[in-house]
Amino acid sequence: MREFAFELAVCAALEAESDGLIARQLGTHARIVDVVEVVPGPDFETRTEITSGTIPGPAIESAVGVGRARRASEAIDAAPERAETIADRAIEVGFFEAERRNGRRYVRQTTRYPDWIGGLRAFENKPDLGRPGELERQLRTDVSLGLFDEVVLVTASYVTGAHLNRIPEAVGVRRFDTETGTVETVREPDRLATDEGGVAITEEQPARVDIEPVTAEEKARLRRRIAERAYGKGWRPETLPACEQARARGPPFAPEDALPYCAWKGRFVDPARECGPDCGGHSPAEPPEADPETIRDRRTPWIADPDGVVRRQAGLDRFGRE
Ligand code: SF4
């Protein structure tokens, strides 16, 4: 659980220095990345105006445009029922709007999908380099796949030459102090070739390595999906524990936050994994007053409740699904 508290502190520090967005625990190609930073692109502001949530990938990749309205089942690459569900979600977040003709629903984009992703950085947290686990393999995979422009290892450990020798050269290394929030750059990352095809290492055994080529086009699609998930998700746990022992606070260098701290355990806790009746200190109560969304809105360019870009908001109810 020390890793969880470390990760929250890393996110708080990254957010403070970033002009983009930070998110944690995002599924990518074949693995979950600890922390992702989305660097803003030219139309970042336009993206913030559409929705605070994630725009579904298949809706962005579909043939639904801003011009002629189309049937979702014909324009979205999915089985008809699923295509309609994707369209529902795209309408809900304000990226599609619907109109009805002859009793059938047609959809179009409310706005062109903006060019808002300036870059992606991945951070792999390993507070204790003495317990590396799968670290080397994960980092080798990240470098050979080249999904992120930069990959950085963040640790609390003193980094020796022997450690550096085991980490792929392209991976940057930072040493992070969770008390002060200070970062020492041990090694800068190289820029990876994100616009070329890459190679995913799907399995590695002593005598055998399974690989899978990933095209540049597929990588572009994955990068957009990662950025969208990061936009919608962020890094703060959504809810605080419904427990008397729970407090909302931040790490020592940024105490005014809304992260789940447990007075009984004397540390930050992961509510989803640690809290509930099975915990020895659990005592049911209202969760502490806290508003992670407002904090995110205040500290980042993300907008919690944008006006949206739907052109014909009034009467949308009439255009429900058949
Ligand atoms: S459930 Fe347990 S870990 Fe969670 S806040 Fe309460 S005492 Fe702490």
Query: Residue 18 has what DSSP assignment?
Result: -
Compute the distance from residue 189 Cα to the ligand 1 centre, in Å.
Answer: 38
49 contacts 299 by C-beta, under 8 angstroms: no
What is the mean pLDDT of the segment spanning 231-246?
95
User: Token digits for 286?
Assistant: 């209202």
The span from the CA of 263 to the CA of 114, in Å, is 44
247: β partners: 261
pLDDT for res 318: 46
Name the pLDDT band for 1 (thresholds 50, 70, 90).
low
What is the mean pLDDT of the segment spanning 250-257?
93
Q: Could you state, in order of their start, the residue ranges of all structural domains in the chain? A: 2-43+115-233, 56-112, 246-299
Compute the distance from residue 254 Cα to the ligand 1 centre, in Å.
Answer: 22
pLDDT for res 207: 83
Q: Burial of 160 by CB count in 10 Å (0-12 exposed, 13-18 middle, 19+ buried)?
A: exposed
Determine which of 19-28, 114-123, 203-212 has the lowest per-residue pLDDT on average. Answer: 203-212
Residues 6+ apart with CB under 8 A from 122: 28, 33, 34, 35, 36, 142, 147, 148, 150, 151, 152
Nearest CA to ligand 1 atom 8: 262
pLDDT for res 105: 96
Compute the distance from residue 239 Cα to the ligand 1 centre, in Å.
Answer: 13
| Residue 276 CA, closest ligand 1 atom number | 1
Residues 6+ apart with CB under 8 A from 280: 264
CATH topology assigned to domain 2-43+115-233: Trna Endonuclease; Chain: A, domain 1 (3.40.1350)
Nearest CA to ligand 1 atom 1: 275
| Residue 281 CA, closest ligand 1 atom number | 7
User: Token digits for 190?
Assistant: 């190289």
298 three-state secondary structure: helix
pLDDT for res 171: 98
Report whether residue 261 contacts ligand 1, using a CB cutoff of 6 Å: no
